[in-house]
A and B are shown apart, each in its own frame.
Chain A
Amino acid sequence: MPLEILLALVIGGIGVVTLLLHVTGRSERADLSDDTAGLAWLRQFPEDDIHQVLISQDGHAALLRTSQGMGLVWAFGADTVARPLADCTLKNTATGLRVSFHEFAAPTTRLILTETERANWRLLMKPA
């Protein structure tokens, strides 16, 4: 197949699929509840016990106190990702917090938090 036709097909195809998915609401992020956040953690760390779950006000992130320490579950598109917070770096942003995990496959996530939430979450995530 001529390269220019292949390129047009690939670029056009990706463009059409992207537009179609976005306008039909497939860009919505997962909403978390205590139950779904807990299940999302256990999906990744099935041997853990979960002691406490705190859902962010926007519903897209959850802070968990587990048997291995503090952990974070966040919406990753329509799905979730979970990571322990033992080796993370926190940085304030205009809308909340940026959490860096020092991991190539999951470098950072940005949490949308109110001012009060941010102060509280920072304390829980990185106790002095």
Chain B
Amino acid sequence: MTDTLSYPDVTQWAVPFFILAILGEFAWIAIKGRGGRYETRDAVTSLIMGAGSVASGIVLGFLAWGFFKWLWVLTPLDLGTSLAAIIICFVLDDLRYYWVHRFGHRIRWVWASHVNHHSSQHYNLTTALRQTWTGTFSLVMLIRAPLVLIGFHPALVLFVSGINLIYQFWIHTEAIGKMPRWFEAVMNTPSHHRVHHGRNARYLDCNYAGVFIIWDKMFGTFVPEQDSEAVDYGLVHNLGSFNPLRVAFHEWVGIWKDASQSGLTLRQRLAYMVAPPGYSHDGSRDTSQTLKEKHLARHPEDAGTPGFN
């Protein structure tokens, strides 16, 4: 069994590339006069969220790493570090990402960590860096456990996850329209991921893919970008603050306020923590499902079209 194995921290090494790509995208937009928008405070907030996410990983990463190393001691399996093992691990990790991401939109406890990534009303390369500070608390690390238990070394699992994250950087742009058809069919692209960032009723809760869009097609969550409906970026209830602390923690505060209300049953308190975002015990709020239903009530002609199937 491989006990000591190390790979470079690819997300840290990618930082210079991230900065250059952001400057390149901005220059492209400024010169061409199209392909996206930048706003100072929005971009700065996104960049600070990215820096905070790296810092959070440095400070709290030992918890996940300790958990994976514990699993690695438990498992009798070792699939090694061959190129084939790396490729298979990458593909399975992307499947893992799909489900983590889907849970991130359907379970409020996980959404509380992920919501900040969707909190910008812009969609440019800085949005890609608007990452969570509280991923450790969402406990989604548990979903990586099977990869380690079937014999992929924890260092390899984290390495391919880093590559997955770097892949997703370039798809946060409006500067690229559509890629060639074969690429759009298999891979996650700017077009597919723009849809994922939409707050339009049509585009809620879809396109969870990281690298391969095939997972959404397999599991019935794929919605193609519609020429007839531009993506409206941001949250259903947009934030009114650029303060990174508020961006990072607002949904956790919301969970606390909701679950600690007086007069609730235990089941209702738990539902405020783990039911889909928008749950309320008195039905006063909207989930993505009720938002879609209300949209269809106003626009019955949209029934049966993508996003309203």
Which A positions have Cβ atoms within 8 angstroms of B? 1, 3, 6, 9-10, 13-14, 16-18, 20-22, 24, 26-27, 43-44, 46-47, 74, 76-79, 81, 83, 101, 103-107, 109
Chain B, residues 222-237, CB within 8 Å of chain A (1/0): the string is 0000000000101001
Q: How far is the CA of A55 from the CA of B132 in the complex (A)?
A: 36
Q: How far is the CA of A79 from the CA of B235 in the complex (A)?
A: 13
- A105 to B41, Cβ gap below 8 A? no
Closest Cβ of chain B to A42, distance in Å, is 11
- B51 to A18, Cβ gap below 8 A? no
- A107 to B240, Cβ gap below 8 A? yes
Besides the known contacts A13-B15, A104-B246, 5 further A-B residue pairs in the complex with CB atoms under 8 A apart: A13-B19, A17-B22, A20-B26, A47-B294, A78-B39
- A1 to B19, Cβ gap below 8 A? no
Known: A9-B19, A47-B298, A79-B121. A27 touches B41 (CB 8 A): yes
Question: 25 A-B Cβ contacts within 8 A?
Answer: A1-B9, A1-B13, A6-B12, A9-B16, A13-B22, A16-B19, A16-B23, A17-B22, A18-B43, A18-B44, A27-B40, A44-B237, A44-B238, A46-B298, A76-B240, A77-B39, A77-B121, A79-B39, A79-B238, A81-B240, A104-B254, A106-B239, A106-B240, A107-B240, A107-B246
Q: How far is the CA of A77 from the CA of B22 in the complex (A)?
A: 19
Q: Which residues of chain A are near B12, meaning CB under 8 Å?
A: 1, 6
Main secondary structure of the interface of A (DSSP, over half): mixed
B169: interface (CB < 8 Å): no
Closest Cβ of chain A to B70, distance in Å, is 26
Q: Which residues of chain A are near B40, meaning CB under 8 Å?
A: 18, 21-22, 26-27, 77
Q: How far is the CA of A104 from the CA of B121 in the complex (A)?
A: 18
Known: A6-B12, A14-B47. A105 touches B39 (CB 8 A): no
Q: Top 8 nearest A-B pairs by Cβ distance?
A: A106-B240, A13-B19, A105-B250, A79-B121, A21-B40, A27-B40, A78-B39, A81-B240
- B246 to A26, Cβ gap below 8 A? no
Q: Which residues of chain A are near B30, meaning CB under 8 Å?
A: 24
Q: Which residues of chain B are near A104, meaning CB under 8 Å?
A: 246, 249-250, 253-254, 257
